[in-house]
A and B are shown apart, each in its own frame.
Chain A
Amino acid sequence: MYKILKKQTLGPSIREYIIEAPDVARAGKAGQFIVLRLHERGERIPLTIVECNPETGGVTLVVQEVGKSTREMGDQFHEGDTILDFAGPLGEATDIENFGTVICIGGGLGIAPLYPIARDLKAAGNEVIGIIGARNKELMFYEDRMAAVCDELIVKTDDGSHGTQGFVSDPLKEILESGRTINHVWAIGPAIMMKVCADVTRPFEVPTIVSLNSVMIDGTGMCGGCRVDVNGTAKFACVDGPEFDGHQVDFDLLMSRQGYYHEEETCSMDDYMSKYPEGVEQ
């Protein structure tokens, strides 16, 4: 059993949790993920690590309530409660070194896993340009944390309600076209955002790392459900990734695989909502 040490709301349906898991907190690094299961009937949910604190044993995660299980977590699991299973760290850690000048792009929930990468790149001596984006002001989070680890931070919203209006790929393109030397790019967010960012950097031949959130069960190399085509070969996001060379990922396939259980996800959510028609006290 793993205790929820802290829970706070970052935006509509976006919550930050600190879960007590000392083994993971000791070993987890930027870029890796964990798998949690709320209860006996729960599914295994992969979530990228935001922060590990070896002293407190806390592992920070940000969860967006997009399906039944994440909704249930938000509704029914409070500070002091425990969740049944929590395993990690899984996957390969981000390759952190002093590349020179790097751009770290986070879209939507992708800002959460991006933050520790930007932090560690900064600590390794890089000049870090941050670009973060969300649909609107309410959905933006971690702006202060990103600002603290970036030399420059550009904030975009789709509707212009905060920062400047537009997509995260817009300033990326402007910076690259300006001729400024950029040695490495990280882009983490929805598949379509990562695809667009990789398309932007490709002609400039700037190495671009993306972090893939494919559907997976065990998260340890056993089911193969998370397989993605990278440079024409099937790779497992869980053990070969989750980070890959964005220029080689088949994003259309990734998006198609992410949507495979859409009907079942709707069914599961409907079933949940029928049990809690009034919603649950927050």
Chain B
Amino acid sequence: MIQEKQTPMREQPAAERVHNFNEVPLGYTPDEAVQEAERCLQCGHAPCVKGCPVGIDIPGFLEHVKNREFAKAISVIKQDNALPAVCGRVCPQENQCQGVCTLAGRFDPVAIGRLERFCADWEAENGAVDMEKPAENGKKIAIIGAGPAGLTVAGEMRRRGYAVTMFELLHVAGGVLMYGIPEFRLPKDIVQREIRALCEMGVDVEVNQVVGRTQTVQELLDGDYDAVFIGTGAGLPRFLGVPGESLNGVFSANEFLTRTNLMKAYLFPEYDTPIKVGERVVTVGGGNVAMDASRTALRLGAKESVIVYRRSEDELPARAEEVHHAKEEGVQFQLLTNPIEFIGEKGNLKAIRCIKMELGEPDDSGRRRPVPIEGSEFEIEATTVVIAVGNGPHPLIPQTTPNLDLNRWGSIVADPETGLTSIRGVYAGGDIVTGAATVIEAMGAGKRAAAAMHAYLSD
């Protein structure tokens, strides 16, 4: 008899967690992990592996978990994924491995993400396994941007024997894992633990490096490096372009989250970077970043946190789990609503003028297009608004690299299979190519690019 439902994972209660930045889901115990792993049918054709952008041998690691061979389980995962503790927490498994699980449909799919997380955390608690430092093959690669795509390329290439140097613009490696995703969803010491593991493999991480200004991509190629990977992400915040957007109190989600996560403004004045939230914080947008911002606002002391989204609940692009967590914590949803003006007083935001929307015909994305309802304008009083409507490509490398082909949004044009750009020896992957997507998709692109770079450098 198969257990129909997933083994539940304990969580911090909503009423408690809105007052702290500690992680919300608490992880499985070994017994819970074994219980959940026993649900895997070992079905043979393993659709989950094809559903995983980095192709982890999922039945293989689940079998080890079932047999309480946790060290073997994590070794299997790490063959394909350098960031298991991260992916176990932030991957949208419901659309990937778990979405295609043979159990799904009749029963709950196997909780693959939770088990991946369990294995990574088990390793952290019980001492690292498999820390061999591969011998160098004499070739060097440079990686620009130490986010999910770059870190994946680093691990893949180091394992193949390349000397790897990562150039990171910020003062810490991790990219969006450090500045974007909140502590309560992805603790920063877990991210750093995974980066440390790469460093122990021999990856060299150089922070505070402004490639494009201190040295160009071409100079890296002409100098020490045989190939370059660009994984500089989608860091440029988009705004709405409505009046009043430069008022004090209007934040991009990037600013709001960077202050809080990267600079630890929630510990101000112990940490030097401040942040300000009003009694009511309005977040514009319906994706995972909007959920992160609205939940962060509550933890920073906002009494009310409201999501304003122009379509309906069915179209919310955020993961169901994130929406669920936000609702549990008391985030309110003002759906089918769009801001049309920010109203200020003495330079500070006072209210947001909105218009109600209805859904019309499907647009290019296949979703029904939101259409404003004439005469339905109304105001929401708020002194803080966070704009979470997406990011564009980080401009520095595109602007400073002649001969690098870009598309009309300013993203780098790269072969989807190999990541090769218009410059020989230069590869790119992740959000700088696709526009804002997920951590694991960036990692998948990194993995493909690493294979292609290896083939190129082996010729």
What is A's interface to B at a CB cutoff of 8 Å? 23-24, 26-27, 32, 37, 41-44, 68-69, 84-90, 217-218, 220-225, 227-229, 234, 239, 252-253, 256-257, 260-261, 264-265, 267-268, 271
Contact = CB atoms under 8 A, between A and B. Distances in A.
Interface stretch (B122-130, B232-240, B418-426): B232-240
A68 B248 CA distance: 22
Given A27-B214, A229-B246, A253-B347, A223 B252 contact: yes
Contacts of A265: 274
A23 B236 contact: no
B213 A221 contact: no
Main secondary structure of the interface of A (DSSP, over half): mixed
B274 A84 contact: no
Contact of B254 (A27, A41, A223, A260): A223
B15 to A, nearest CB: 28
B209 A23 contact: yes
B269 A268 contact: yes
Interface string B253-269: 01100110011100011
Contact of B396 (A43, A220, A256): A220
A19 to B, nearest CB: 12
Contacts of A227: 239, 246
B272 A222 contact: no
Given A87-B169, A268-B274, A257 B209 contact: no
Contacts of B189: none
A85 B207 contact: yes
A222 B246 contact: no
Interface string B288-325: 00000000000000000000000000000000000000
A89 B255 CA distance: 21
A275 to B, nearest CB: 10
B21 to A, nearest CB: 16
Contact of B263 (A43, A234, A256): A43
A39 to B, nearest CB: 9
A256 B347 CA distance: 6
Given A44-B263, A218-B170, A223-B254, A69 B272 contact: yes
A271 B249 CA distance: 24
A217 B259 contact: yes
Contacts of B235: 220-222
Q: Which of A43, A261, A265, A267 has the most CB of B within 10 A?
A: A43
A234 B238 CA distance: 11
B269 A44 contact: no
12 contacts: A69-B272, A84-B171, A87-B208, A88-B210, A217-B263, A221-B235, A222-B254, A223-B237, A224-B254, A256-B346, A256-B347, A261-B276
B273 interface: yes
Contacts of A220: 169-170, 210, 235, 394, 396
Q: Which of A44, A86, A267 has the most CB of B within 10 A?
A: A44
Given A27-B215, A43-B272, A68-B272, 5 more contacts: A221-B395, A224-B239, A239-B396, A260-B348, A261-B274
Contacts of B252: 223-225
Q: Which of B213, B268, B346 has the most CB of A within 10 A?
A: B213
A215 to B, nearest CB: 10
B270 interface: yes
Contact of A24 (B214, B237, B255, B258): B214
A263 to B, nearest CB: 8
B246 A253 contact: yes
Contacts of A264: 268-269, 274, 276
The 3 closest A-B pairs by CB, nearest first: A256-B347, A264-B274, A223-B255
A69 B263 CA distance: 14
Contacts of B251: 224-225
B248 A257 contact: yes
Q: Which of A27, A88, A224, A264 has the most CB of B within 10 A?
A: A224
Contacts of A260: 248-249, 276, 348
Contact of B171 (A85, A88, A228, A271): A85
A89 B179 contact: no
Contacts of B269: 68, 264, 267-268, 271
A85 B208 contact: yes
Nearest to A270: B269
B396 A218 contact: no
A37 to B, nearest CB: 6
A208 B264 CA distance: 39
B367 to A, nearest CB: 27
Contacts of A271: 269
B194 interface: no
Q: Which of A24, A87, A257 has the most CB of B within 10 A?
A: A87
Contacts of A261: 274, 276
A140 B348 CA distance: 34
B248 A41 contact: no
A222 B236 contact: yes
Contacts of A86: 208
B270 A89 contact: no
B179 to A, nearest CB: 7
Nearest to B237: A224
Given A24-B214, A88-B210, A264-B276, A44 B171 contact: yes
A225 B255 contact: yes
